[in-house]
Amino acid sequence: MNPNKTVEDEQHPSIAAVNRRIQWLSLHLTPLPPLQYSPQLNMLTCAKSANKLEVDKASLKSYMRGKNRETQEKIIEFFESRPDLQTSVGIPMKEHKDNVLELEFQGVKKQITMLQTWPVRTPRPVASKLAADTPLLTEQHVLDALCPSVLGGTWAIPGAFGCGKTVLMDFPQLTMTLPDGHEESVMKRTTLVANTLNMPVAAREASIYTGITIAEYFRDMGYNVSMMADSTSRWAEALHEISGRLAEMPADTGYPSYLAARLASFYERAGKVKCLGGPERTGSVTIVGAVSPPGGDFSDPVTSATLSIVQVFWGLDKKLAQRKHFPSVNWLISYSKYSGHWNLSMTLAGIFMVTACWKDALAETDKITLETAELLREDYLAQNAFTPYDKFCPFYKSVWMMRSIVHFNTLANQAVEKAAWMDGQKITYSLIKHRRRVFGPKEGVMMCLICPFFPSTSHRSQKFEDPAEGEEALVAKFKKLNEDLTAGFRALEDEPDEEKSKR
């Protein structure tokens, strides 16, 4: 006779059988506290009535939380096979297996349910992989113009804490504009997979694979899915902890030697594919991985391994974030391998020349380059997400804003260089700057001292154009601005020397 048995166990031997069954199912999991042969059924609250056991469903769900899918299925199957075990709420435990379709082929019937099981570490099969040929537009100037990406691409966004890479608390209140014009909540198109530091280490390590498997599930339906991992550094820390518990040989800074291989196996599940089955359809998974290197050090092993895999790198700069310049993407170090991007390093680096060289000591063309770079940094590469006209920027608006800035830079340099080889009054940066006139207020912003062909305010007013006016109206305004630029510089070149000297 078992000395641990109680009188209640003798009266209800099924309790001991269930305890032994659950103990057998839990051998390969985290060790549980010693089982007590009592009516509590190993953390499951039970009550005896009419010679039956009533299992509290809430306790059952709490016990099953954290178990893998195979173990959960075995436990549910066991309870379903025992007619003497019932749930106290009376809800069938098989409701998640409701049949939605029944197929018969060659005399064999197969039932299709809403439940699909798939090992999260194994990529879902596809008919074929396709070349990425469709741009993915974020409606952010600095990203779409300088470091573009494609549907099915891989991105990395490393940055220190406070640079603006984490989802905010007001994310559920965000909306998006659909092609038909109406607004819809972002949450209706979002699936969240939690990965908090108080979760078991195995769950934290598996969460990133759970997210990519869910993304592949929607991709197989023909959708274009964007999977954001925030952040892969937390996942790498879980991998580091598991490796330490397994007593594996550590590599750089204690991370396992297979860190890069695990990252590559994750990012390679991105791409545009032709889905299996019919009707014929295509889908894509785009992976955006945020990285949180300690102190913003991009030589961190996780960041270094990620940059050797991904095709687009958006490096966040803490100094830009401290100046409230958002998006705080450092355009001098960011890049995209999908297409040749406009390298503004030499142009924008002129902004920092002011700290080492007095502006008046520069050549006239360098002064124009400096002013153009400042215009790009302050008015093109920075956006205010809390304004209706700048929270997003359609690609046509980004293109025309860049065209106007480049057009000004070209005309100004041509005017200065042409006058340098002619007799008479020269055209200088100061002369161009002082050709101003005053306009009235526009959209609550006092547009004073506006030059029809100088960017101090006329070009900076481009960002205040609301995309809600429509593409045709905005394109017409940008074309008129370029025409005014051309006419203004032509008039300046044709002015007599006496008029220029008066200016």
**Which is more confident, 494 or 72?**
494
Distances in Å between the Cα of 141 and the Cα atoms of 62, 132, 341, 495 are: 47, 21, 13, 37
Mean of pLDDT values over 333-350: 62
Q: Does residue 365 share a domain with residue 324?
A: no
* pLDDT tens figures, 110-164: 888 877 788 899 999 999 999 988 999 888 888 888 888 999 999 999 998 888 8
The domain boundary residue, chosen from 76, 96, 116: 96
Cα 460–465–467 angle (5° rounding)?
Answer: 140
Q: pLDDT-based confidence at 180, cuts 50/70/90?
A: confident
In a domain, 122, yes or no: no
Q: Does residue 399 share a domain with residue 275?
A: no
* pLDDT tens figures, 389-416: 888 888 899 889 988 888 888 888 888 8
**Mean pLDDT, the chain, whole residue set:** 75
Q: Does residue 307 share a domain with residue 365?
A: no
Closest by CA position to 52, among listed 76, 21, 79: 79
Q: Does residue 170 share a domain with residue 44?
A: no
* pLDDT tens figures, 300-328: 999 999 999 999 999 999 889 888 888 99
The domain boundary residue, chosen from 324, 343, 362: 343
* Res 449 pLDDT > 50: no
Per-residue pLDDT, 371:
81
Per-residue pLDDT, 70:
64
Q: pLDDT-based confidence at 246, cuts 50/70/90?
A: confident
Per-residue pLDDT, 220:
94
Closest by CA position to 164, among listed 362, 372, 321: 321
Q: Does residue 265 share a domain with residue 173?
A: yes
Cα(170)–Cα(190) distance, integer angstroms? 14
* Res 480 pLDDT > 70: yes
The domain boundary residue, chosen from 343, 370, 388: 343
Mean of pLDDT values over 226-237: 90
CB 370 within 8 A of CB 350: yes
Report H helices in 150-275. Answer: 201-219, 232-245, 259-267
Q: Does residue 190 share a domain with residue 234?
A: yes
Q: Does residue 334 share a domain with residue 376?
A: no
Sign of CA dihedral 210, 310, 381, 479: negative
Cα 149 from chain centroid? 12
Q: pLDDT-based confidence at 93, cuts 50/70/90?
A: very low
**Which is more confident, 353 or 242?**
242
Cα(82)–Cα(41) distance, integer angstroms? 15
* Burial readout 351-370 (b: 16 or more C-beta within 10 A, e: otherwise): bebeeeeeeeebebeebbbb
Q: What values do phi and psi take at 400, rounded to 5?
A: -70, -35
In a domain, 243, yes or no: yes
* pLDDT tens figures, 4-34: 444 444 444 444 555 555 444 443 333 333 3
In a domain, 114, yes or no: no
* pLDDT tens figures, 194-221: 878 788 888 888 899 999 999 999 999 9
Q: Does residue 357 share a domain with residue 320?
A: no
Q: Does residue 311 share a domain with residue 216?
A: yes
Look up the domain containing 48 and give its range. 7-96
The encoded tokens of residue 439 equal 């306009």
Per-residue pLDDT, 358:
61
* pLDDT tens figures, 35-91: 333 333 443 444 444 444 455 555 566 666 666 666 666 666 666 555 555 443 333
Per-residue pLDDT, 496:
64
Cα(119)–Cα(164) distance, integer angstroms? 33
The CATH number that applies at residue 226 is: 3.40.50.300
Per-residue pLDDT, 267:
96
In a domain, 107, yes or no: no
* Res 224 pLDDT > 80: yes
Cα(359)–Cα(59) distance, integer angstroms? 73
Per-residue pLDDT, 59:
58
* Res 341 pLDDT > 70: no
Mean of pLDDT values over 237-245: 89
Cα(393)–Cα(466) distance, integer angstroms? 9
Cα(412)–Cα(86) distance, integer angstroms? 84
The CATH number that applies at residue 454 is: 1.10.1140.10
Cα 163 from chain centroid? 14
Q: Does residue 406 share a domain with residue 452?
A: yes
Range from 37-41, 111-115, 169-173, 440-444 carrying the lowest mean pLDDT: 440-444
* pLDDT tens figures, 266-300: 999 999 999 998 889 999 999 999 999 988 888 89
Residue type, 38: S
Per-residue pLDDT, 79:
60
What is the percent of the chain where pLDDT is above 70?
A: 68
CB 1 within 8 A of CB 10: no
* Res 490 pLDDT > 50: yes
Q: pLDDT-based confidence at 457, cuts 50/70/90?
A: very low
Q: Does residue 330 share a domain with residue 272?
A: yes
The encoded tokens of residue 232 equal 């892969």
In a domain, 17, yes or no: yes
Distances in Å between the Cα of 2 and the Cα atoms of 22, 26, 27, 42 are: 18, 22, 21, 17
Domain count, the chain: 3
Residue 129, beta-bridge partner list? 273
In a domain, 159, yes or no: yes
The encoded tokens of residue 484 equal 């005014």
The encoded tokens of residue 163 equal 């640079």
Per-residue pLDDT, 343:
47
In a domain, 111, yes or no: no
The encoded tokens of residue 445 equal 């912003």
Q: Does residue 54 share a domain with residue 143?
A: no
CB 347 within 8 A of CB 372: yes
In a domain, 62, yes or no: yes
Cα(478)–Cα(473) distance, integer angstroms? 9
Burial of 5 (0-12, 13-18, 19+ CB in 10 A): middle
